[in-house]
Amino acid sequence: MSDPEKRVAVNAVIVKIHAITGWQIPEPAIANILVDQLNKKMQESYPTVNVDELEYAFRTYSEEVKDWGKQMNLSLIAEVMTPYLRDRAQVSKIEEQKTSMQIEHKEDLGDKAMQEWYDHTALAVKENKARLEFLPPMLYDWLFKAGKIEDHKIYHKAAAIHIGKRLAGDVLNPKEVTAFRVMYKAGVFSGKYITEIESLSKSIALNNYILKNK
Based on the number of CB atoms within 10 Å of its own CB, is 84 exposed (0-12), middle (13-18) or buried (19 or more)?
buried
Do both 16 and 71 map to the same domain? yes
Do both 19 and 66 map to the same domain? yes
pLDDT at 103: 43
Last residue in a domain, options 48, 66, 85:
85
pLDDT at 152: 94
CA distance 64 to 61: 6
pLDDT at 106: 41
pLDDT at 99: 55
100, part of any domain: no
Do both 199 and 139 map to the same domain? yes
Based on the number of CB atoms within 10 Å of its own CB, is 201 exposed (0-12), middle (13-18) or buried (19 or more)?
buried
pLDDT at 214: 72
Do both 119 and 49 map to the same domain? no
* Count of residues in the chain: 214
Cβ atoms 181, 164 nearer than 8 A: yes
> Taking the CA of residue 62 as centre, how many other CA atoms within 13 Å lie in the half-sphere pointing to its CB?
22
118-137 tens-digit pLDDT: 998 898 888 887 778 788 89
Do both 64 and 117 map to the same domain? no
Bridge partners of residue 24, in order along the sequence: 71
97, part of any domain: no
Do both 201 and 119 map to the same domain? yes
Q: Which domain holds residue 163?
A: 113-212
Do both 54 and 136 map to the same domain? no
pLDDT at 48: 82
Do both 75 and 128 map to the same domain? no
Do both 47 and 134 map to the same domain? no
102, part of any domain: no
Give one word for 80, left, alpha or beta, with left for phi > 0 and alpha for psi -120 to 50.
Answer: alpha
Cβ atoms 77, 38 nearer than 8 A: yes
Do both 77 and 117 map to the same domain? no
101, part of any domain: no
pLDDT at 45: 85
Do both 127 and 198 map to the same domain? yes
User: If the chain, 214 residues long, is cut into consecutive pieces of 10 residues, what is the mean pLDDT of each piece?
Assistant: 69 82 83 86 84 81 67 85 81 61 50 86 86 86 93 92 78 74 85 88 94 85
Do both 79 and 122 map to the same domain? no
Question: How many domains are there within the chain?
Answer: 2
19, part of any domain: yes
Cβ atoms 120, 97 nearer than 8 A: yes
